[in-house]
Structures are given as C-alpha cells and as structure tokens.
C-alpha cells in the first residue's frame, strides 16, 4: 500500500501527507461532552459535524450526540447568525440541555461570525431560557489540532463559568488533558486514595463509557456539573496535566480568579505519576500516599525488572498528540528502550524542547519533530527501521508495509476495542501499558522463532 514512499527526505513547508493529528472541532466537541447535560454545537455545515461525531464514535464505540447550525450556501454568503439563533431556540425547546457549548468550524471562522454578539442578542431576545448557559470557543480547523480545540474549549469553560467566592475552597482542580474516560476516572480514584477532594474538568467518564441499562439517555449521568465548574474559581490550586491541552485553561483560571496552577506531564509511567502524586500532596498538605498506591508502584517496578531483557535497547518510533507522546517517551526511556523517532502533528517548539530534555544524552541521534506527518515518519523508518511503533490506528499502514509491530496508543484508535475502559494514567495504567508493550514484542518473538526455538515459557 505504501510501497511508493521514497527514502529521500525533502523539506516541505506547506504540504502535509497523512497528518499525525486531526482538526480542532473534534477536540472541542470532546471537551464539551465532559460537562454534565451539555450539548456540543458545531457552528458550520452538517458535513463537519457528522465527521467529528463519527470520528469520536469510532474511537469510543459509543454514540456521540451533537447539533449543528447546518450552513448552506446562503449562510456562507450572508453569515450564520440566523442559523445559530434558530439552533439555540430549537435545542433548548426540544432537547433541554443545561448548557450548549458552541465551537466554530473553518467556514464560520472564515466568514467571521461574531459568536459572543450573536449569543448575547439571542439572550436579550429570550431565546436562551433563564438558568441555561451558552459558551463558545473559536476552533478553526486550519490552525492547530484536536488538542488545540480541546484546550480552547476548556479555556471557554473557565472564561464563561468560573467565579471567585469570598471564601476560598480547600479543593483542588485537575484539568486532565485530552485523554480517554478511563484516565479521567483513574485521576478521581487516585485522588480518593490520597484522601483529597477535587474537581476534574472536563470529565467524560460515565459519558463515553456508560454501562448498558436497556434504556437510552441523551445526557448520561457523567460529566462535571455547572455548579462544580463555577466553584473552580475558588479552588486552592489547579494542576494542569499536559501543557498543550491543559495549560491555557489553568492560566485563564489564575488570571480571572487568582487560582495558582502547576503544569505537569500526563501521569503516564512512574516518573510522571510520581510528580503528580507529589504535587497533590504538597498542595493539600497530605503526608504520604496510601499503602495500596505504594504497592501499585512497586508492582510496576517489579514488572519492568522482570521484563527488562525484552525491553532493553529496543528501537521505538512514537507518534501522536504531544502531551501523550511526551509522557510515553519518558516512560519508555525509563524502561530501557530507545526512542529514535518522536513526532507529533501539533505545531509547537515546546514539544521538541521537552522531548530533547527527556532524552538528554541517551539518544543523541533521535529525530524529534513537531508539525510533522506520517509520510515523514515512514521515510525515516524506510531509511533505518525500528523494533516497535507506538501510536494511533493510522500507524497500521506503516506497520504493515515495513513489518513492524504496533502498540496502539492515543487518539484515535479505530480498529481495536477496550482502550477507553483501561487507564494509561497512574501506576495501574503503567502496568496496563507495560503489559501491552511486552506482549506485543513477545508475539513478534513467537512469530519469528524457528521451530527449535519456539518456547512454551518466555
């Protein structure tokens, strides 16, 4: 399928082939789903909304609900204000959400619709019922990536809803980053183990991993409530997990309400999880982790030690969203593996600088690139192959063409199941990841073993 990919690498300033990212509105829609009783609204054409919904549905294997302004040629010429006004009126009358989260698309951004003014006029005209809310984020697809869209919508939650009460709260805020529901649930579980009360926002657990009950609910029980979002402005501190997805929201909360924040890597692997646990303990004044959490950490170390002979020195190519790639790189380095190609489709020099700090002098020839694509990654691999690839489903074409095992990780994963139900965060998540990585390598050992070397016990 990719036999014609050339080995000769030429610098490209504009063309992207198989981008290692997707567009902003997908991230904004996903963040919106993390608010309880919220209906995400795509201010653009039906086709945009359908694509974004289907992409999320295919990853989570759950129905994703969203509405659209349904632009036609007329809206493209005269503007989409009438479409949005009619949409707000219909949505509140028919579907009765507590809040609508509007995100823009390429078309509405290009024609220059002023969303705040449109929403303000709709409120004055009584199209938005008392006690209901409308927030918005500007998310043009031709800028940034899905992570940028997620970040912009989280910032919108703060800008529109967070308020500072006279009496500061003792709770902490956690912005979890662009991760699966299982990771958001794991953060809440870890806070419980640390005897800490906090608000995780957005929170898609029990929204995109709901149990089968036999009846359909348009708005599932999960998601952070509007009341909790308002109280984030009175929090003791905010921990932003992942600079690309979460820092903007935390910074906005500090600017608006004076809540201090810390930016940490996603707690994937031992080092990043240690930093998260230490930060929570420092902020809250708690003394130490629970015994069960310490045991979990020890189990990860035991697994890494037991499996070292399968991991050590393996050459790895990693690709995907920047925050996840950063933490995964650190985890693999700590396991004795050698990341040699590390790329993301999201622009930002901070990504390259952070990866180089993680690698230090251990991988002087590692290729690190932001705003890259999978065509470029394939060229690198064709020149010098690797033992393992770690990334989303789109890497399967390179995996097949070059006969390299692929560990599916990140977003989107369209051709496998279960990823939304098992965490990558924390010590338990590290055990899940490590098991997946080692078993993938062992599958390759079995496949390539000669008859006389085909072992029953590894």
Instruction: Supply the pLDDT for residue 1.
Output: 65
Spell out a b/e string for 408-442, using b for 16 or more CB atoms within 10 Å of the CB, else e: bbbbbbeeeeebbebbbbbbbbbbbbbebbbebbe
262 by DSSP, 3-state: which?
strand
Q: Which pLDDT tens digit goes with each residue over 32-70?
A: 999 999 999 999 999 999 999 999 999 999 999 999 999
DSSP state of 269: S
State if pTM tops 0.85: yes
Phi and psi torsions of 45, nearest 5°: -85, 165
CB 284 within 8 A of CB 236: yes
Instruction: Supply the pLDDT for residue 362.
Output: 75
Instruction: Supply the pLDDT for residue 154.
Output: 98
- When pLDDT is cut at 50, 70 and 90, the band that residue 166 belongs to is low
Q: Which two tokens stand for residue 407?
A: 């560990």
- Which architecture, in CATH terms, is 24-161? 3-Layer(aba) Sandwich (3.40)
Region 162-167: what's the mean pLDDT? 82
Q: Which pLDDT tens digit goes with each residue over 291-315?
A: 999 999 999 999 999 999 999 999 9
The CATH number for 172-293, chosen from 3.40.50.1980, 2.60.40.10, 1.10.1060.10, 1.10.340.30, is 3.40.50.1980
- When pLDDT is cut at 50, 70 and 90, the band that residue 25 belongs to is very high
CA-closest candidate to residue 232, choices 179, 284, 155, 177: 155
pLDDT at 247 over 80: yes
Instruction: Supply the pLDDT for residue 361.
Output: 79
Region 21-41: what's the mean pLDDT? 97
Q: What is the mean pLDDT of the chain?
A: 94
292 by DSSP, 3-state: which?
helix
Region 152-164: what's the mean pLDDT? 96
pLDDT at 175 over 90: yes
CA atoms within 13 A on the CB side of 226: 15
Instruction: Supply the pLDDT for residue 89.
Output: 96
CATH class of 311-452: alpha beta
Question: Strand 388-391 relative to strand 406-408: parallel, antiparallel, unpaired?
Answer: parallel
pLDDT at 359 over 80: yes
pLDDT at 423 over 70: yes
pLDDT at 337 over 80: yes
- When pLDDT is cut at 50, 70 and 90, the band that residue 410 belongs to is very high
**Exposed/middle/buried for 304, CB within 10 Å: 0-12, 13-18, 19+?**
buried
Top mean pLDDT of 14-18, 339-343, 445-449 is at 339-343
- When pLDDT is cut at 50, 70 and 90, the band that residue 2 belongs to is confident
Domain with CATH 3.40.50.1980 in the chain: 24-161, 172-293, 311-452
CB 28 within 8 A of CB 152: yes
**Exposed/middle/buried for 457, CB within 10 Å: 0-12, 13-18, 19+?**
exposed
Whole-number percent of the chain with pLDDT over 90 = 84
pLDDT at 167 over 80: no
DSSP state of 210: P
Q: Report d(CA 67, CA 72) in Å as an integer.
A: 15
394 by DSSP, 3-state: which?
helix
pLDDT at 363 over 80: no
């Amino acid at each position: 399928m990719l036999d014609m990919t050339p080995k000769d690498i030429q610098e490209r300033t504009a063309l992207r082939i198989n981008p290692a990212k997707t567009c902003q509105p997908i991230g904004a829609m996903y963040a919106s789903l993390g608010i309880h009783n919220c209906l995400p609204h795509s201010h653009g054409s039906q086709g945009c909304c359908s694509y974004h919904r289907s992409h999320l549905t295919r990853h989570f294997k759950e129905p994703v609900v969203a509405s659209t302004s349904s632009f036609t040629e007329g809206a493209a010429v005269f503007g989409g204000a009438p479409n949005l006004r009619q949409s707000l009126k219909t949505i509140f009358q028919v579907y009765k959400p507590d809040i609508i989260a509007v995100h823009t698309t390429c078309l509405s951004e290009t024609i220059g619709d002023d969303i705040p003014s449109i929403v303000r006029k709709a409120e004055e005209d009584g199209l938005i019922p008392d006690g209901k809310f409308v927030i918005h984020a500007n998310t043009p697809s031709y800028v940034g990536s899905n992570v940028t869209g997620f970040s912009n919508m989280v910032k919108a939650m703060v800008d529109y809803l967070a308020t500072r009460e006279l009496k500061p709260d003792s709770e902490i805020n956690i912005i979890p980053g662009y991760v699966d529901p299982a990771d958001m649930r794991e953060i809440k579980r870890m806070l419980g183990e640390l005897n800490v009360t906090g608000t995780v926002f957005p929170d898609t657990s029990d929204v995109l991993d709901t149990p089968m009950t036999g009846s359909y609910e348009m708005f599932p029980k999960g998601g952070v409530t509007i009341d909790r979002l308002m109280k984030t402005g009175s929090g003791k501190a905010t921990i932003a997990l992942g600079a690309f997805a979460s820092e903007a929201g935390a910074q906005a909360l500090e600017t608006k309400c004076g809540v201090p924040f810390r930016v940490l890597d996603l707690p994937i692997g031992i080092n990043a999880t240690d930093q998260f646990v230490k930060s929570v303990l420092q902020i809250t004044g708690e003394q130490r982790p629970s015994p069960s959490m310490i045991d979990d950490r020890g189990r990860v170390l035991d697994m890494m030690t037991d499996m070292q002979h399968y991991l050590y020195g393996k050459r790895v190519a990693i690709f995907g969203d920047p925050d996840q790639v950063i933490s995964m790189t650190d985890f693999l380095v700590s396991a004795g593996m050698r990341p040699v190609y590390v790329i993301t489709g999201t622009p930002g020099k901070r990504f390259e600088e952070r990866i180089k700090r993680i690698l230090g002098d251990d991988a002087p020839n590692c290729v690190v690139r932001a705003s890259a694509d999978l065509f470029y990654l394939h060229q690198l691999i064709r020149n010098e192959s690797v033992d393992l690839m770690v990334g989303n489903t789109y890497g399967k074409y390179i995996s097949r063409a070059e006969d390299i095992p692929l560990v599916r990780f990140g977003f989107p994963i369209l051709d496998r199941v279960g990823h939304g139900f098992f965490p990558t965060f924390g010590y338990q998540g590290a055990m899940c990841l490590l098991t997946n990585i080692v078993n993938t390598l062992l599958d390759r050992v079995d496949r390539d073993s000669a008859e006389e070397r085909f072992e029953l016990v590894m």
